[in-house]
Structure 1
């Protein structure tokens, strides 16, 4: 199983980086590592596994292959504060 996203190919087992909004404070976003896994609800799809939850992986998601790439995008979209650092 694989998914192409902006000329990248993802496979189950890959670690990627995404922006994750705090559900308790919607104005706070952080960079978070997530695992690409086989979707347990649909074996023909991939999913992101983050905080014990599966999120269907789609080409509409902003996914970064490295933490550095995610940090650059974070600073571009959110400014130069320190909120984007991986925790």
Structure 2
């Protein structure tokens, strides 16, 4: 993973991000020597979101298959979650 200082980002701007992301999937921006932010290419971000949504869908399907679901009316649902 490539490290970019906040000062380099301030001085060099977006080109420093372009350079880092051309060789790595992500870059860490450090502030006073501490890792504070992660920058991803849109391609990498989109792939991570897709994997996250796939995991959520798999979890929902597992809940449905195991019977961990409620089939309530709106009023019943509100009453159930309000208590």
Fold in common (TM above 0.5): no
Q: Whose relative contact order is higher, 1 or 2, with alpha carbons under 8 Å and at least 6 apart?
A: 1
User: Over alpha carbons, which structure has the higher Rg?
Assistant: 2
Q: TM-score, normalised by structure 2?
A: 0.28
Higher helix fraction (1 or 2)? 2
Q: TM-score, normalised by structure 1?
A: 0.27
